[in-house]
């Protein structure tokens, strides 16, 4: 087992990086800002330099083996219509004609490779990943095709192969990840004749961008698009016109995408924990209430029954007494009557007496 110090450090870095990809996740008390992997790469797009030659589109098409376009890349009339990224085009150039300006402005669009990508945080199978090189890559072998990444992406970058029946893929710029791992330049950067695209470490690119703004204050808007947008992107832009005039969204905010959902995710364990306790407790209370109610009911029934029984007994005893009294009286009367009859017998009296005696017995 020869683990070199380098390897060990590498693993540690990878581990740290793994936890750093979504630093907002689950952390509510500590808010740290992930400023990108150290020395990760990026591209600076100097919009003022772009001449709209579409060479980058052609190079991208070739490097990524994408289907041939309907019109060749050197047909610049294509730029008269707005161009959109698609499953066959990882990058497009668009022409803008800002008001009060004679020369048009060209803007290249592709995946911005966010430092904390919304798409990666949205992917429920981790098919999209922020690489240490800075590239945001996509693993076809995991993708389910739910297209939540497309919903999540604030720049509307990922495209989908809608016409692929069984193996549709998400298609987007990879920053030529395989090439940059080999130490080569991304296709578009390598071909750009005007060096409107500069590849390099993101930190270095920010310095270069600042230098350019400082040296040519009249040429640039004093803003590096992508330095802060959506928590920062690996692709950076400099422009001479307000970015909003170039159809670039300036209302996205400076927070990273995962921060938008971290709160909702952090509540999950809370709901499970507190929920089980709460509901079980609720059930227990309900049950207890039912039990008490049942007991109280039984007790009440029992009490009523015993009270009733007692009352009955009492009544019975009273009646018994009364009956005995009656009996005695009857016997006495009988005796007296017998005595009287014996002395002076009449028909009518005898009938009356026997009826009343019968009645009393019935009552008892």
Q: Site residues for other proteins, window 323-362 (CB under 8 A)? A: none
Q: Which of 92, 123, 173, 188 binds other proteins (CB under 8 A)?
A: 123
Which runs of E-coded beta strand occur in 47-175? Answer: 92-96, 105-109, 128-130, 136-138, 159-160, 170-171
**Residues found in the chain:** 364
Q: Which of 244, 275, 294, 331 binds other proteins (CB under 8 A)?
A: 275
- What is the distance between the alpha carbons of residues 20 and 35, in angstroms, rounded to a whole number? 10
Q: For other proteins, which is the closer residue by CB, 8 or 284?
A: 284
**355, two tokens:** 């009826």
Q: Which of 56, 136, 176, 189 binds other proteins (CB under 8 A)?
A: 189
- For the bound state, the minimum distance from the C-beta of residue 94 to other proteins, rounded and expressed in Å, comes to 14
Q: By CB under 8 A, how many residues form the interface with other proteins?
A: 93
- For the bound state, the minimum distance from the C-beta of residue 258 to other proteins, rounded and expressed in Å, comes to 6
- What is the distance between the alpha carbons of residues 233 and 173, in angstroms, rounded to a whole number? 14
How far lies 213's CA from each of 140, 208, 217, 218, 223, in Å? 40, 9, 5, 8, 8
Q: Which of 260, 266, 323, 357 binds other proteins (CB under 8 A)?
A: 260
Q: For other proteins, which is the closer residue by CB, 66 or 252?
A: 252
Q: For other proteins, which is the closer residue by CB, 119 or 174?
A: 119
- For the bound state, the minimum distance from the C-beta of residue 12 to other proteins, rounded and expressed in Å, comes to 22
Please write down the long-range contacts of 57-63, taking CB distance under 8 Å and 24 or more positions apart.
57/89, 57/91, 57/92, 57/93, 57/188, 58/191, 59/187, 59/188, 59/190, 59/191, 60/89, 60/90, 60/91, 60/110, 60/173, 60/187, 60/188, 61/89, 62/187, 63/176, 63/179, 63/186, 63/187
Q: Which of 64, 88, 132, 194 binds other proteins (CB under 8 A)?
A: 194
- Please list every residue from 196 through 225 that binds other proteins, using CB under 8 A: 199-201, 204, 207-208, 211-212, 214-219
Q: How many CB atoms lie within 10 A of CB 358?
A: 9
Q: Please, are residues 134 and 234 in contact by the beta-carbon 8 Å criterion? A: yes
Q: Could you say whether residue 10 binds other proteins (CB under 8 A)?
A: no
- Please list every residue from 57 through 116 that binds other proteins, using CB under 8 A: 76, 84-86, 102-103
Q: For other proteins, which is the closer residue by CB, 174 or 180?
A: 180
Region from 35-43, 194-202, 314-322, 333-341 binding other proteins, contact rule CB under 8 A: 194-202
- For the bound state, the minimum distance from the C-beta of residue 259 to other proteins, rounded and expressed in Å, comes to 10
Q: Which residues contact 315 (CB under 8 A, 6 or more apart)?
A: none
- Please list every residue from 146 through 185 that binds other proteins, using CB under 8 A: 146-148, 150-152, 154, 156, 159-169, 183-185
């Amino acid at each position: 087992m020869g683990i070199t110090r380098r390897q060990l450090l590498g693993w540690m870095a990878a581990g740290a990086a793994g936890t750093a990809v979504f630093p907002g996740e689950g952390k509510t008390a500590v808010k740290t800002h992930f400023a990108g992997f150290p020395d990760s790469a990026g591209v600076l797009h100097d919009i003022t330099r772009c001449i709209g030659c579409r060479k980058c589109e052609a190079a991208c098409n070739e490097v990524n083996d994408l289907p041939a376009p309907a019109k060749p890349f050197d047909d610049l009339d294509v730029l008269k219509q707005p161009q959109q990224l698609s499953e066959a085009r990882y990058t497009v150039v668009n022409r803008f004609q800002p008001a009060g300006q004679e020369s048009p402005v060209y803007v290249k669009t592709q995946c911005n490779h966010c430092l904390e990508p919304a798409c990666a945080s949205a992917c429920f199978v981790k098919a999209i990943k922020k690489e240490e090189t800075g590239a945001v890559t996509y693993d076809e072998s995991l993708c389910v095709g739910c297209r939540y990444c497309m919903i999540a992406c604030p720049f509307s970058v990922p495209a989908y192969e809608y016409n692929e029946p069984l193996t549709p893929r998400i298609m987007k710029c990879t920053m030529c990840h395989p090439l940059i791992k080999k130490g080569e330049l991304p296709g578009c950067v390598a071909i750009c004749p005007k060096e409107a695209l500069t590849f390099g470490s993101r930190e270095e690119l920010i310095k270069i961008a600042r230098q350019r703004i400082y040296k040519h204050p009249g040429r640039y808007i004093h803003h590096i698009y992508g330095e802060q947008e959506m928590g920062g992107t690996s692709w950076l832009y400099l422009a001479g016109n307000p970015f909003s005039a170039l159809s670039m969204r300036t209302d996205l905010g400076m927070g990273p995408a995962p921060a938008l959902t971290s709160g909702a995710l952090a509540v999950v364990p809370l709901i499970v924990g507190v929920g089980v306790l709460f509901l079980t407790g609720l059930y227990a209370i309900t049950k207890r209430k039912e039990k008490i109610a049942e007991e109280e009911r039984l007790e009440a029934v029992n009490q009523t029954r015993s009270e009733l029984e007692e009352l009955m007994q009492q009544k019975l005893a009273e009646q018994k007494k009364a009956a005995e009294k009656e009996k005695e009286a009857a016997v006495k009367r009988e005796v007296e009557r017998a005595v009287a009859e014996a002395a002076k017998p009449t028909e009518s009296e005898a009938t009356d007496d026997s009826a009343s005696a019968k009645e009393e017995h019935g009552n008892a």
